[in-house]
Structure 1
Amino acid sequence: MDDSGVAISTGGADAELDARLGAELDAFNQAATAGHEQAEFTVRITDADGALVAGLSGWSWGDRAGIEMLWVREDSRGDGWGARLLAAAEEEARRRDCVTIMVSSFTFQAPGFYARHGYEETARVPGIPDGHEDVYFLKRL
């Protein structure tokens, strides 16, 4: 603690702090962009047993949408599930009156996949992590 009684601490994952920061930033953003609500969406693909085959989480805010995470189970990769996830997310974004959708992918993940599906590279951040790059994409809907 410093002389003013303020303490600064660092640590590992902190779900309580993350929830508080999210709530505070959401409130600030909502006030700054009145009438443009942020909303999350998901796409889930399950097999006959109900096990998760693939999933996507995303968001919309005003007339923009973004993909946060996209994952396909290893034994189901190459079967077209990723393309189906993207199509469903893009359709949901259009339903929400979005005009673009964005996503980022590390070079060791799937930048080629997004490019094949009409996403245009807009930026690269080198060295994240260890010589790889974080690639940013945008697609007009």
Structure 2
Amino acid sequence: MTHTPDTPDTKAPTPGIGTLSVGDGDEELDKRLDAELTAFNTKATGIPVTELTVRITDTDGELLGGLSGWNWGRCGGIEMLWVREDARGRGVGARLIAAAEEEARARGCEQMIVSSFTFQAPPFYAGLGYRETGRIEGLPGGHADVYFVKEL
């Protein structure tokens, strides 16, 4: 591979900087990056980011579904939503979303945002009043990443 001045050689050491490493996943790095970016964003805006989680368990205490997200100022966001396969189609997802929206309103949020791949749940979010605001086609493969917003 030929490197031009605009294309850095990632394998070459950078004097006085340190060592570059690439890997498949690093939970410790993910936690550190989240903490650093959250601190930076809070300092830049004066508005703290707060985590938001919702869970539903069955009668044995096993997880039926869960939602994780955040609120930042007047916006709430859904990062992940999952419902156990045997509980799908029984309103679990809708209950998780409703509880997250209720909590977001209580925290002063005026809107919720979420993205979902076309093979996941765009019709589900649309059915709950979320409006598509954009999409990235071909991600991954022949699918799309769809972005939604809902006014609370």
The answer to whether TM tops 0.5 is yes
For structure 2, the residue ranges without an aligned partner over 5 or more in a row are 1-11
Alpha-carbon deviation of 1:5?
4.0
Aligned length: 140
State the match for 2:4 in structure 1. Answer: none
Question: Aligned to 2:114, what secondary structure does the other structure show?
Answer: strand
State the match for 1:66 in structure 2. Answer: 77
RMSD: 1.1
Question: Aligned partners of 2:38, 2:115: CA distance in 1, in Å?
Answer: 21
Selected match of 2:52 from 37, 41, 44? 41
What TM-score results when the alignment is normalised by the length of structure 2? 0.88
State the match for 2:133 in structure 1. Answer: 122
- Please give the per-residue CA displacement for 1:62-107, whole angstroms capped at 9, x wherever unaligned: 0100001111110111111111111101000000000000000000
Question: Aligned partners of 2:54, 2:146: CA distance in 1, in Å?
Answer: 22
What TM-score results when the alignment is normalised by the length of structure 1? 0.95
Question: Aligned to 1:105, what secondary structure does the other structure show?
Answer: strand
- Please give the per-residue CA displacement for 1:27-69, whole angstroms capped at 9, x wherever unaligned: 11111011x1100011110111001111111100001000011
Question: Aligned to 2:23, what secondary structure does the other structure show?
Answer: coil
For structure 1, the residue ranges without an aligned partner over 5 or more in a row are none
Q: Does 1:19 align with 2:34?
A: no
Which structure's CA Rg is the greater one? 2
Q: Does 1:78 align with 2:78?
A: no
Question: Aligned partners of 1:61, 1:119: CA distance in 2, in Å?
Answer: 19
State the match for 2:111 in structure 1. Answer: 100
Alpha-carbon deviation of 1:3?
5.4
Question: Aligned to 1:2, what secondary structure does the other structure show?
Answer: coil
Residue type at the aligned position of 2:30 = D
Question: Aligned partners of 1:83, 1:15: CA distance in 2, in Å?
Answer: 30
Q: Does 1:88 align with 2:99?
A: yes
Question: Aligned to 1:48, what secondary structure does the other structure show?
Answer: coil
Question: Aligned partners of 2:69, 2:23: CA distance in 1, in Å?
Answer: 28
